[in-house]
Amino acid sequence: MEERKQETTNQAHGLFDHFVQATTCKGTLRAFQELCDHLELKPKDYRSFYPKLKSKLNYWKAKALWAKLDKRGSHKDYKKGKACTNTKCLIIGAGPCGLRTAIDLSLLGAKVVVIEKRDAFSRNNVLHLWPFTIHDLRGLGAKKFYGKFCAGAIDHISIRQLQLILLKVALILGIEIHVNVEFQGLVQPPEDQENERIGWRALVHPKTHPVSEYEFEVIIGGDGRRNTLEGFRRKEFRGKLAIAITANFINRNTTAEAKVEEISGVAFIFNQKFFQELREATGIDLENIVYYKDDTHYFVMTAKKQSLLDKGVILHDYTDTELLLSRENVDQEALLNYAREAADFSTQQQLPSLDFAINHYGQPDVAMFDFTCMYASENAALVREQNGHQLLVALVGDSLLEPFWPMGTGIARGFLAAMDSAWMVRSWSLGTSPLEVLAER
């Protein structure tokens, strides 16, 4: 009997380790389901899920994580998880900001459901982390899930790794996460409120998914610049033409690669000699370049249009930026060579082999895009009311404000918006009037 108990315990520990070490979105969800099945836990019991998981998993590795999460959850503003006990929230998008918002709402005691239209975290691009975001993520146990998290002087992480960390924290807290579900619009409460008091729901694809029956009082859009929530006017910030190129090369983690120094934001005004030498040696003319060593060797640079034309990357010069950077007007092979040459020169030819990482389309992970225009929503939130049901609608992440990448502000502002939104939902749940809630936000 004792042996069987020991075997069950060891199996639970193994399943927990498997979950913590999972490297894909689908793998994480599968490992979590296996752990829950083994421990006979139902994540849908969101109020009691985390305490039950703690009591059933008496494992030193798990306990170190519980200590972190309990310390975070004990903050007075969460009111011991009772600040938003009867609030139901739907979050669109399992990007870093959607998941970070979900975690705070869960700590406040709300029921949180996240829908994500993909089932893979495939973005290799690397995010710069401001000190407070590193502190915040450490407090959520990031290091337990990703041992290399901000080791030493490192202050960046790939979007993929950040999503995995936040996904695992969210699952542990009892947040429901549904992949391969696309949000298509809001379903208003019906006029007939006599028989059943049906509230706000979502129209999703596939139509028959159980999420379509879920009623909520709060919806948060974290689905990036495509933002599918209606009612938000967008402002456009226009600068002079700015063309960015991102490139990810395979990191084989060799000693030679480890020795190569990172470049954290070299701009033309600070190091004109470097950019002049680059132009003379290669014909590549840049305004700035960043190199981060992460899961991949990640480079991002702003290239001058004339040099892209001279090097045959852009075939014809158009004043219309969309035409200029359209697929038909870009020589993909020349773009790969341009990115590789810039990366090679800026690291003084020290990276032994510059082989491109592969993106989720099965193509070399290189992108060229225009960030001349950046969009920001005029408002962060609004309230809808229909047939006696109020709905709080908010935006976070790129839906709210597109980042200006050379400043590395994306995730810092994204996390601040997540926290602001959670605070707003807290006020909403504690009975503050809608206008006061919106005025404060």
Alpha carbons 320 and 335: distance in angstroms, whole number: 20
pLDDT at 108: 96
Max distance between CA atoms of the chain, in angstroms, equals: 78
pTM comes to 0.89
Q: Count of CB atoms within 10 A of residue 13's CB?
A: 16
Alpha carbons 159 and 177: distance in angstroms, whole number: 18
Structure tokens, 273: 């000699």
**Residue 436: is it exposed, middle or buried by C-beta count within 10 angstroms (0-12/13-18/19+)?**
exposed
Alpha carbons 34 and 28: distance in angstroms, whole number: 10
Provide DSSP, 48-88. Answer: HHHHHHHHH---HHHHHHHHHHHHHHTSGGGGGGTTTTT-E
Alpha carbons 306 and 324: distance in angstroms, whole number: 12
Local confidence pLDDT in tens for the 441 residues of the chain: 555 566 667 899 999 999 999 999 999 999 999 999 999 999 888 989 999 999 999 899 999 999 999 999 999 999 989 999 999 999 999 999 999 999 999 999 999 999 999 999 988 889 889 999 999 999 999 999 999 898 877 789 999 999 999 999 999 999 999 999 999 999 999 887 777 788 999 999 999 999 999 999 999 998 876 667 777 776 666 667 889 999 999 999 999 999 999 988 766 666 889 999 999 999 999 998 999 999 999 999 999 999 999 999 999 999 888 899 999 999 999 999 999 999 999 999 999 899 999 998 899 999 998 876 666 666 778 888 888 899 999 988 766 666 655 556 678 888 998 999 999 999 888 877 776 767 666
301-328 burial, b for 16+ CB within 10 Å, e for fewer? bbbbbebbeebebbeeeeeebeebbeee
* Residue/partner pairs of 189-193 with CB below 8 Å, 24 or more apart: 189/386, 189/387, 189/388, 189/389, 190/387, 191/387, 193/387, 193/388
Residues 223, 98 contacting (CB under 8 angstroms): yes
pLDDT at 229: 79
| 3-class DSSP state of 194 | coil
pLDDT at 374: 66
- Candidates 136, 145, 105; CA nearest to 17 is 145
Phi and psi based region of residue 312 (left: phi greater than 0; alpha: psi -120 to 50; beta: remaining): left
| 3-class DSSP state of 340 | helix
Alpha carbons 121 and 128: distance in angstroms, whole number: 18
pLDDT at 241: 81
The dihedral built from the CA positions of residue 80, 84, 89 and 93, taken in this order, carries a sign that is negative
Alpha carbons 335 and 63: distance in angstroms, whole number: 49
Number of H helices, E strands in the chain: 15, 17
The dihedral built from the CA positions of residue 364, 243, 397 and 161, taken in this order, carries a sign that is positive
DSSP state of 328: G
Alpha carbons 90 and 42: distance in angstroms, whole number: 19
